[in-house]
Amino acid sequence: MNRRDFLRTASVAAGAATLGGVRQAQANADGKFKLKYAPSFGMFKELAGTDLFDQIKFMDETGFRAIFDNGLPGKSPAVQEKIANELAKRNMDLGPFVLYADFSVKSFVLNDPDVTDMLVKKMQMGVEVAKRTNSKWALVVPGRFADDMEWSYQTANVVDNLRRCCDIVEPHGLTLVLEPLNAWRDHPGLFLTKISQAFEICRAVNRPSCKIINDLYHQQITEGNLIPNIDMAWSEIATFHLGDTPGRNEPGTGEINYQNIFRHIYKKGYEGVLCMEHGRSIKGKEGEQAVIDAYRKADEFSV
């Protein structure tokens, strides 16, 4: 490397470090977490009470900058709108809701008019939820694989069905996030299992409204190699799910080094939501406080 290239590289690195320092100072100044870890409703019901809006208030005041609600479509339109308004007032983000995740049937892998009709109705419903809640992402699991069809034909059908879905959601600013799930412990028989597979499908669909949700709990079980896979698939990853393994509880209770992962994606400039889709290793108020403490510890990375 010549002197000019060295100075240019050093300047870029210094600029990135400065921006990282500014983000960290801003996050720390108001007691907020550096990244948008998102609890779900019920995670802090012992500390905050059972009222949804008391829980949002508690999450905000504890330092969380987002929430997620897998069951959002099942709530009444009035409650959906009220949640959105409360989050907007508190400058909090809303993570992906589950739009389609039927683990019991073959669906996306088929070229079938009935499947197409079902998916069209699901996507239209998702658009209405997104309109009421300002949601940016909706989670999709493509269902089971077919053991009587060549894998390549199944993949092509998944791509075609996703393109049809994108035709519906994309004009409304809604992005579908595909979730690969582990087949070894939790979900045998599903079509989508790996980040590399989801990456390939997103590239084939080739639409800005088709991305990946990287569930680090599932991917540690399926393939490990978490940070390199994050880097390889980075252009297609829109959001994350969190959970340690074994146990699927808060960071620090299993084998995943979440502090290193959080540092890594923070330095890459990630500003999306990280859904805390896990349980608690301890019951009651003590367990809920343990979750908060675990995220404080994992969030204490330096940049």
* In the chain, where the domains are located: 1-30, 31-298
Instruction: Check whether 25 has a pLDDT greater than 70.
Output: no
Beta bridge partners of residue 214, listed in sequence order: 240
Give the pLDDT confidence score for residue 30 in this predicted structure.
80
| Average pLDDT of span 262-291 | 98
Digit-coded pLDDT (tens) for 73-129: 999 999 999 999 999 999 999 999 999 999 999 999 999 999 999 999 999 999 999
Residue 303: what pLDDT?
A: 86
- Measured distance CA(40)–CA(303) in Å, rounded: 28
What is the pTM assigned to this prediction? 0.90
pLDDT at 9 (0 to 100): 47
**159 pLDDT tier (thresholds 50, 70, 90):** very high
233 has a pLDDT exceeding 90: yes
Provide the token pair at 126: 């998702």
Which candidate, 294, 267, 300, places its Cα nearest to that of 278?
A: 294
Report the topology of domain 31-298.
Answer: TIM Barrel (3.20.20)
Higher local confidence (pLDDT), 14 or 264: 264
Mean pLDDT of 138-157: 98
Which pLDDT tens digit goes with each residue over 206-223? Answer: 999 999 999 999 999 999
User: Measured in Å, how far apart are the chain's first and last C-alpha atoms?
Assistant: 26
